[in-house]
Structure 1
C-alpha cells in the first residue's frame, strides 16, 4: 500500500467519510497501484485490512449487466468528472452504489473516487415519493369531493328554498301539492347525504354496531322492490325492466334488516343511475347459514382499471362519473363497511357496455326463534282520553308533531324548555306520555327526564332528538327514556312507537 496524501489529510478524510458513510479509493494509472478506505472495504463486505485492494477485486463486485457501463464510465472519467449509479454485490446481496470521481495529472495519472452505498437512500426516496403521491392523490380526492359535495348539497337546497318562496307568495294554489312533493323529495335527498356522512364517521371509528333480529325476507324484498319502482319513476326510467327473484326455503333470517335494506338500495340506486336501457335484477339465495344477494344491470359497466376503486370512499367508477351522474361517491364504500360489520364480503363482475353484477354475502343468518314484526295500522289509533306532553323548543318541530298527532284525538300540552317540561309533568297528573327533545334551553331533556322520573317513575318518556350518533340512544335510555327517536322521523314511526305505551 502507498500514501498519496499526508497522514493528517488521510485521518481527516477517514473521519469525514466515516460520518457520511462514504468510501474512497485512489488508483494510479502509471504505477497500477490501488488503495481504498476502510468504508469502501466495509461497503464491499470486507473486514478492514482483511484483503489487499486491487482493481480486479473491485470489478468482481460489479453486477455483470452493469460491468461494461461501469468500466466505460471509468474511461470517460479520464476526460471529465463523472457521477454514475450501478449495481454491485456485498456478501451475495445486490446493492445500489454511486461513485463520483475524476482523473488528474500529478506527476502520475491518478483516479480519485468517492464511493457510496445508496440502496437505503433510494428505498427511502421511493417510499417518500410513494407517500407523496398518495398524499397528492388524497388531496385531489378531497378537493374533488368538497367541490362535488357543494354541488350535491346546493341542488336540493335550491329546490327547497325556491319552492318555499313560491309557496310563501300564496299565488300558486293549484301547484301546492306538486311543490310540496318537490320540497319533500329534496329534503329526503339532503337527509341522505347527511346520513351517509354520519355513517362513514361511525363505521370508520368502529362505533357502529349491527342490530340483529329475525325478519321476514320476502317482505323485506317487497319493500326494496317498492322503493326501486318509485326510484325508476322519479328518474323517468320506467321503461327499464325490474326483476326480483327469491330462492331458498327459508322465509325468515336473523340479521340487521335496516343495514341490508340500505345496502340493497345503494346497489339498486347505482344500477338505475348507470342503466339507460335493458333491465335490472335483484335476487338472493341461501346456502347453509349464508345468504348471498345479487344486483345486476345492463348499464354502462365499469372499466377494468377502475373496478378496484369503486369500494373506496369518495371514489366512483371513473373521474367523470361525479360530473355526469352526480352522487357523493360514498354509497359503495358505506355498503362495504356495513357488510364487513355483518361479517360478510362484497365483490363485483363488470364489462363495459354490457353491465355490472354486484354480489355480497352475509354469514350466520338462520335462526329458528321467530320474532313477530307485525305492527298495527297507524291510521286507526284513537287516544282521545289520553294526554301527551311535547317538550320541544323549536316551534316548527312542535307544529309537525302536533299535525302528526291530531288524527289520534290525543290531548296535547306544549313545553318549550326543560324546566317547563318538569313543571307541567308534575302539575298535570293526567299526562300519560312525554315526547322529550334533548337539546333544550335551561335544562336539557336528559336532566329533565331524570328529575321527572324521580317523582313519576312510571311516566313514559320518549326521546325525540336530532342526536343520532352511536351512543346517543344509550344516553337517553340511561336517563330513563323508554325509546329514542332520531330526527327526522316520519308519522308512522312516531305513532307505532307511542302505541307500545298507549292502548
Structure 2
C-alpha cells in the first residue's frame, strides 16, 4: 500500500516538476526571443546611424571644395565673360578632386553655359531651373535625380563674390553643379567606406528579406524632397538562438536528468550572457563586453561584435578628428598658396600696367622689367614645386640612375650657388671630404642636386649673416654617402622639428613670411631622399642655426671619372635665311618667338596644331628646323613626331614644352626629338639650340 500511495506522488512530482520546468523553459525561450529582437533592433539602429555618418563624411570634401570654388571672384567673372577655356583649364581640371563625372556651370539667367564630363555622362543640360531658385535661398544643396544615364547625385551651389561668404548679400552670379553617377564604381566606393554590401533600390521595389542580415536604407530624394530610389546597405547579422530550441527538445526528452542541470547552468549560459548583452547595449560597458567575449557559444561572438563596433567607433572618431585636422591644414596651405601666387602675379600685372599706361624713363622701364622677370621666375618656381609634389603624392616618380662623378657634381653646385650670393654677407664654404669617392657612383644626380639645392636655398634664406657650409663624407663600412648642410641662421624651434618635412605645415616667422614660398622644398627633399633609399634628419636650435643631415646608399661604378663640362655663354651666330617651322597653338607664345627672332634672317612658318605641322613638314621640303610644341589641339607634338620622323629622318625637331621634370625629359628624348626647350623660354638657350642644329656639317655628326 505504501508503494501504491508513494508511486502516484512520485508520478505527480515528476509530472508537476516537468510541467514547471517546461513552463520555465518556455518563459526563458520567450525572454530570449525578446532579447534577440532587442539586439537586432539596437544593431540596426547603430548600423543606420553609422551609414548616415559615413555618407555625410564622404560628401564633406565635395561640399568644402564647391563652397571654395563658388566663393571665387574669378568664377564670378567667368559667368559674365563665359570664357570656356578658363572653365576647362581651371575648373574642369578638378574632376579628380571632386571625384565627379560631370561639372556644369549656369549663368545668372539659369541658362546652361558649359560642362566638363567624363565619358559616363553624355547628357548636356539637365539641371532643373527650380533647383537654381532654391539655391538662391540655401546657397548649397545636395539632391538626387534621374537622367538618361541613370540616377545621379547632384551637389549645387550659387556663385557669389568672395566678400559674400554666406551667399546671402548679393544676387547669385550663376550656378555650379558637381554630378556623380550612381553606377558600379560609385557603389564599390560605398562598399569600401561602409564595409557593407550596397545596392540601388528602385522606388517601386520592395526590400528583400534575408535571414541573418541587417539592412539600412538611405532614401534618395530630389530637390522637391520626393523619393526617387534608395541605397540599401546590407551586413551579416550572425546571432543565432536555434540552439536554445534544440535544448528544449533535449530537456523534454530527458527532463528528469536535465532539470537539475538546467537549473544550475541556465543562469550561466543564458541569463548572465543576456545581462552582459543588455549592459553592453545600454551603456557600452567595456567590462561587460570583455566578460561576454569570455563566454561560450554565440554570446562570445556577440561580445566580439560589440568589441569590434566599439573599436570602430573609436577609429571613426579618430579618423574624423584627423580628417578635420587635415581639412584645416589643407585650407591653411591653400590660403598660403593663393597668397604666394597672387603676390608675383600682382607685381607682374601692376608693373606691366605701369609700362603700358604711364610715361616712364628708360631707367624705370629697366627696373620694372627686372621686377616682372623676377616675379615670373618666382611664379614658375611655385608651380614647379606644386607639380613635383603632385607627382610625389601620386607615386609617379622613379629614380633615373646614372653614373655620377660625385666630386665634380658637388663642386659644380658650389660654384653655381656661390655666384648667386656674392652680394650677401655670408661665408659660404664647401667642406672637402676626408676620403673622396674611389670611383664614380650610381645615383639619380638630378634628384640629388635638387635635394642639396633645396637645403642650401633654405639655409641661405634664413641666414642674414654668418656662415653656410656643406659637404659629404664616404662611409665605406656602412656603404653610405653622408651629406651635411649647416648654417648659423634663424634656427628652428624643437616643437616644430616633427613637422618640418610636412608639406601642409610651414614654420611661420617674420623671416619666413618675408622670404615667402610654400614651404614645399623640405617635403620634396625628403621624398627624393626616400626615393633614393636614404634618410634625412635635422639638428637645430633657435638663434644658433640648423644642420641638416641626409644619407644615400653608396654604390660604385668602377669606371673612369666623368668630367663635368661647364656651360659657357652662347655666342649668337649670324643666320643665313634658313626656314624654321614653329608649331605653336598659343598666339602669345608664337608672338614671343617672333620677337626673339625679329633681328635674325630666319623665314618663319607657323602651324597652329599638330596635324598642320605634319602637313607642312611633308609638303615643304625646304624646312630646316622645327620647334614643336608638345601640347597642341587635334594632334599632340608626340603624335606629330611619330608621323614626321619616318618621312623626314634628318630634319632637326626640337620640343618646346611646359613640362620640366626629369621623367618628362626622358620621355621627350625617347620619342626621338633632337632636343627640348622648357617654358618659360630662355632666349640664350633658344639660339644655342638653333645654332647647333642649323650648322649642317656639325649636325650630321651629332
- Cα pair 2:405 2:563 within 8 Å, conserved: no
- Cα pair 1:390 1:436 within 8 Å, conserved: yes
- Cα pair 2:405 2:561 within 8 Å, conserved: no
Counterpart Cα distance in 2 of 1:87 and 1:319: 49
Query: How far is the alpha carbon of 1:151 from its aligned partner?
Result: 0.3
- Cα pair 1:214 1:370 within 8 Å, conserved: no
Q: How does 1:298-317 map to 2 (within 5 A)?
A: 298-317=488-507
Counterpart Cα distance in 1 of 2:570 and 2:526: 38
> Is residue 128 of structure 1 aligned with residue 146 of structure 2?
no
> Is residue 354 of structure 1 aligned with residue 354 of structure 2?
no
Counterpart Cα distance in 2 of 1:117 and 1:319: 50
Aligned to 2:621: 429
Q: How does 1:223-302 map to 2 (within 5 A)?
A: 223-225=412-414, 228-229=417-418, 232=421, 238-247=424-433, 248-250=435-437, 252-288=440-476, 290-302=480-492
Structure 1's unaligned 5+ residue stretches are: 23-37, 40-46, 63-81, 96-114
Aligned to 1:161: 349
Query: How far is the alpha carbon of 1:9 from its aligned partner?
Result: 5.8
Query: How far is the alpha carbon of 1:181 from its aligned partner?
Result: 1.6
Query: How far is the alpha carbon of 1:291 from its aligned partner?
Result: 2.1
* C-alpha spacing 1:484/1:366, structure 2 compared with 1 (3 Å): same
Query: How far is the alpha carbon of 1:358 from its aligned partner?
Result: 0.9
Q: How does 1:480-491 map to 2 (within 5 A)?
A: 480-491=672-683
CA RMSD of superposed structures (Å): 4.2
* C-alpha spacing 1:277/1:443, structure 2 compared with 1 (3 Å): closer
- Cα pair 2:436 2:473 within 8 Å, conserved: no
Q: How many residues align?
A: 435
When you count helix as a share of all residues, which structure comes out higher?
Answer: 2
- Cα pair 2:409 2:564 within 8 Å, conserved: no
Aligned to 1:78: none
Q: How does 1:37-436 map to 2 (within 5 A)?
A: 51=265, 85=285, 87=287, 119-168=307-356, 169-225=358-414, 228-229=417-418, 232=421, 238-247=424-433, 248-250=435-437, 252-288=440-476, 290-317=480-507, 326-367=516-557, 368-374=559-565, 377-380=568-571, 382=573, 384-385=575-576, 386-402=578-594, 411-418=602-609, 420-426=612-618, 428-436=620-628
Counterpart Cα distance in 1 of 2:414 and 2:382: 22
Query: How far is the alpha carbon of 1:285 from its aligned partner?
Result: 1.6
Query: How far is the alpha carbon of 1:450 from its aligned partner?
Result: 3.3
* C-alpha spacing 1:390/1:87, structure 2 compared with 1 (3 Å): same
- Cα pair 1:389 1:413 within 8 Å, conserved: yes
Counterpart Cα distance in 2 of 1:371 and 1:430: 40
CA deviation map 1:303-352 (0-9, x unaligned): 33321211222222369997576331321111111112222221112233
CA deviation map 1:357-377 (0-9, x unaligned): 111112135332444543664
- Cα pair 1:387 1:430 within 8 Å, conserved: yes
* C-alpha spacing 1:90/1:402, structure 2 compared with 1 (3 Å): closer
* C-alpha spacing 1:412/1:131, structure 2 compared with 1 (3 Å): same
Counterpart Cα distance in 2 of 1:216 and 1:406: 41
Query: How far is the alpha carbon of 1:263 from its aligned partner?
Result: 1.3
Mean CA deviation greater in 439-448 or 124-133: 439-448
Aligned to 1:71: none
Counterpart Cα distance in 2 of 1:204 and 1:452: 36
CA deviation map 1:148-188 (0-9, x unaligned): 10000011111111111222235232122222221111111
Which secondary structure does the structure 1 equivalent of 2:425 belong to? coil
- Cα pair 1:388 1:410 within 8 Å, conserved: no
Mean CA deviation greater in 358-367 or 134-143: 358-367
Counterpart Cα distance in 1 of 2:406 and 2:294: 61
Which secondary structure does the structure 1 equivalent of 2:428 belong to? strand
- Cα pair 1:217 1:253 within 8 Å, conserved: yes
> Is residue 11 of structure 1 aligned with residue 29 of structure 2?
yes
Which secondary structure does the structure 2 equivalent of 1:431 belong to? coil
* C-alpha spacing 1:324/1:8, structure 2 compared with 1 (3 Å): farther
Counterpart Cα distance in 1 of 2:399 and 2:283: 62
TM-score in terms of structure 1 length: 0.72
- Alignment match of 1:451 (pick from 635, 643, 661): 643
Counterpart Cα distance in 1 of 2:662 and 2:549: 28
Aligned to 2:168: none
- Cα pair 2:446 2:662 within 8 Å, conserved: no
Query: How far is the alpha carbon of 1:88 from its aligned partner?
Result: 6.6
Aligned to 1:74: none
- Cα pair 1:404 1:491 within 8 Å, conserved: yes
Which secondary structure does the structure 2 equivalent of 1:163 belong to? helix
- Cα pair 2:440 2:562 within 8 Å, conserved: no
Query: How far is the alpha carbon of 1:379 from its aligned partner?
Result: 2.2
- Cα pair 1:215 1:373 within 8 Å, conserved: no
- Cα pair 1:202 1:469 within 8 Å, conserved: no
Structure 2's unaligned 5+ residue stretches are: 1-16, 41-239, 242-260, 277-281, 296-302
- Cα pair 1:345 1:362 within 8 Å, conserved: yes
- Cα pair 1:254 1:365 within 8 Å, conserved: yes
- Cα pair 2:408 2:564 within 8 Å, conserved: no
